[in-house]
Each structure stands twice: as C-alpha cells, then as structure tokens.
C-alpha cells in the first residue's frame, strides 16, 4: 500500500540547528485497480493487475486477486537482480476463475505474449 504526502512544501525545507525536522504526514493513494475493477467502463472489459511480491508470492497474489476484483493478476517475485531493471522475468498469471498459468524465466516479451494469450479469449 503506497502512500503520498498530504501536503507538499513550496520550496526546500531548511534545517534549523538543534531542531528535529517536522514529521511528514502521509495519506493512502487511491486504489486504482480496485476502482476500475468495481466500475467497469465497458461491458466485457478485461482488467489485468500486476503484483510484485517478496514472500508468499502465490498466497499474497491470490489474496490480492480476490481483494482487487480484477480478471487476471500477473504475480512475480521481486528482489535483488529480479524483475526491475532486468530484461528477463518469470511470473504466474492468476485468473479469477481459479486457473494459474506459469511463465518460466525468460524475456519479458514472452510474459507479455502469455498475458495477451490469456486476455484475448476472454474478450470474445
């Protein structure tokens, strides 16, 4: 759950000798995935979400899929030299109907192809 500052400073916040800086107040970001899943703009729309997990990847992914209400959730494990900043990836695509599609480690284009192959028949 990502958060953002409640209020932004107009300029640099200067240090004052001997004083602790004021705390930064945070607020939760809107849950865009849950919002678009709940209020589908068009009939037959397919919603695909993405989840980067560090532990209990499948369990956390299944819980997120149920919570967000999307049709497909691409779940991958992140960590050192994994996923971000890499041309390679592996993932599991979880579907609302309970099916799971594993995508072995390989080019991110292969993952994209797999996701599309799961979306296309759902559009029919």
Q: Is residue 1 part of a domain?
A: no
The domain containing residue 75 runs over which residues? 45-124
Distance, CA of 104 to CA of 112 (rounded, Å): 12
Q: Encode pLDDT of 105-121 as tens digits.
A: 999 999 999 999 999 99
Distance, CA of 76 to CA of 60 (rounded, Å): 11
Q: Is residue 69 part of a domain?
A: yes
Q: How far is CA 92 from the centre of its chain?
A: 13
Three-class SS state of 9 = coil
- Total-model pTM: 0.79
Q: Encode pLDDT of 26-67 as tens digits.
A: 888 899 999 999 998 888 899 999 999 999 999 999 999 999
Distance, CA of 11 to CA of 83 (rounded, Å): 35
Q: Is residue 28 part of a domain?
A: no
Q: Is residue 16 part of a domain?
A: no
Residue 75, token pair as written in the block: 């779940």
Identify the pLDDT of residue 44: 87
Task: List the one residue out of 38, 29, 32 whose CA is nearest residue 69.
Answer: 38
Q: Total domain count for the chain?
A: 1
| CATH number, domain containing residue 53 | 3.40.50.10300
Q: Is residue 124 part of a domain?
A: yes
Q: Is residue 35 part of a domain?
A: no
Q: Is residue 15 part of a domain?
A: no
């Amino acid at each position: 759950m990502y958060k953002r500052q409640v209020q932004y400073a107009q300029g640099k916040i200067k240090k004052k000798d001997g004083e602790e800086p004021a705390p930064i107040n945070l607020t939760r970001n809107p849950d865009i995935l849950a919002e678009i899943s709940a209020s589908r703009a068009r009939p037959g729309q397919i919603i695909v979400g993405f989840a980067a997990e560090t532990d209990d990847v499948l369990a956390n992914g299944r819980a997120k899929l149920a919570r967000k209400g999307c049709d497909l959730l691409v779940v991958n494990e992140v960590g050192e030299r994994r996923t971000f900043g890499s041309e390679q990836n592996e993932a599991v695509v979880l579907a609302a109907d309970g099916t799971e599609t594993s995508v072995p480690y390989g080019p991110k284009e292969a993952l994209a192809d797999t996701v599309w192959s799961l979306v296309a028949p759902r559009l029919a």
